[in-house]
Chain A
Amino acid sequence: MSDTIDVAYVAELARLELTPDEHRLFQQQLELIVRYVDKIGELDVSGIEPTMHGQAVVNVFREDVVLPSCDRERVLGNAPERNGYEFRLPKIVEDA
Chain B
Amino acid sequence: MDIATLTVKEAARGLRAKDYSSVELTQAVLAAIRERDGALNAYLSVDAEGALRQAADADAARASGREGDLLGVPIAVKDLINVDGQPCTCASKILRGYTACYDATVSARLRQAGAVFAGRTNMDEFAMGSSTEASAFRTTRNPHDGTRVPGGSSGGSAAAVAGGEALAALGTDTGGSIRQPASFCGCVGLKPSYGRVSRYGVTAYASSLDQVGPMTKTVEDAATVLSCLAGRDPRDGTTPDVPVPDYGAALRGGLKGLRIGLPKEYYIAGTDPAVMACVRGAVEACAAAGAEVVEVSLPHTEYAIAVYYIVATAEASANLARFDGVRYGHRTANPESVFGLYAKSRAEGFGTEVKRRIILGTYVLSSGYYDAYYGRAQKVRTLIRRDYEAAFRSCDVLMTPVAPTAAYRIGEACDDPLKMYLGDIFTVPANLAGLCGLSVPCGKTPEGLPVGLQVLGPAFGECAVLRAGQGVEELVGAE
A contacts, CB < 8 Å to B: 1-2, 5, 7, 10-19, 22, 25-26, 29-30, 32-34, 36-41, 43, 45, 48-55, 57, 59-60, 62, 70-71, 74-75, 77-81, 87, 89-90, 92, 94
Within 8 A of A (CB), among B336-361: 337-344, 346-347, 350, 352, 355-356, 358-360
Chain B, interface SS category: helix
Q: Is B234 touching A62 in the complex (CB atoms < 8 A)?
A: yes
Sorted nearest first, the 5 A-B pairs with minimum C-beta distance are A54-B194, A54-B434, A50-B378, A80-B331, A60-B237
Q: When the two chains form the complex, which single residue of A11, A30, A75 contacts B101, counting CB atoms closer than 8 Å? A: A75
A-B contact pairs, 25 of them (CB 8 A): A10-B363, A14-B362, A15-B321, A15-B342, A17-B340, A17-B346, A17-B347, A22-B352, A33-B309, A33-B421, A37-B309, A40-B373, A40-B376, A40-B380, A41-B372, A48-B380, A50-B378, A50-B381, A51-B379, A53-B208, A53-B434, A54-B238, A55-B194, A77-B99, A89-B326
Q: Is B352 touching A51 in the complex (CB atoms < 8 A)?
A: no
Q: State whether A40 and B329 are in contact (beta carbons under 8 Å apart), knowing that A10-B362, A17-B343, A90-B335 are contacts in the complex.
A: no
Chain B residues touching A, range: 35 or more
Chain B residues closer than 8 Å to A49, beta-carbon distance: 379, 382
Chain B residues closer than 8 Å to A92, beta-carbon distance: 337-338, 341
Q: State whether A10 and B366 are in contact (beta carbons under 8 Å apart), knowing that A43-B303, A45-B383 are contacts in the complex.
A: yes
| Residue on B nearest A74 in the bound complex, by CB | B101
| Residue on B nearest A13 in the bound complex, by CB | B362
Q: When the two chains form the complex, which single residue of B310, B321, B459 contacts A37, counting CB atoms closer than 8 Å? A: B310
* CA–CA, A62 and B193, complex, Å: 24
* CA–CA, A80 and B383, complex, Å: 46
Q: Is B324 touching A14 in the complex (CB atoms < 8 A)?
A: no
Chain B residues closer than 8 Å to A94, beta-carbon distance: 337
Chain A, interface SS category: loop
Nearest CB of chain A from residue B337's CB, rounded to whole Å: 7
Q: When the two chains form the complex, which single residue of A17, A55, A78, A90 contacts B98, counting CB atoms closer than 8 Å? A: A78
15 more contacts with CB within 8 A, not counting A17-B347, A89-B326, are A11-B362, A13-B366, A29-B356, A29-B418, A34-B360, A38-B306, A48-B382, A48-B383, A50-B375, A54-B433, A57-B238, A78-B98, A80-B326, A80-B331, A92-B341
Q: State whether A53 and B194 are in contact (beta carbons under 8 Å apart), knowing that A16-B358, A37-B306 are contacts in the complex.
A: yes
Chain B residues closer than 8 Å to A75, beta-carbon distance: 101
B102-119 Cβ-contact flags toward A at 8 Å (1 or 0):
100000000000000000
Q: State whether A51 and B382 are in contact (beta carbons under 8 Å apart), knowing that A22-B352, A43-B303, A70-B102 are contacts in the complex.
A: yes
Chain A residues closer than 8 Å to B209, beta-carbon distance: 54
Q: State whether A7 and B359 are in contact (beta carbons under 8 Å apart), knowing that A17-B344, A17-B346, A53-B238 are contacts in the complex.
A: yes
Q: State whether A33 and B417 are in contact (beta carbons under 8 Å apart), knowing that A13-B362, A90-B334 are contacts in the complex.
A: yes
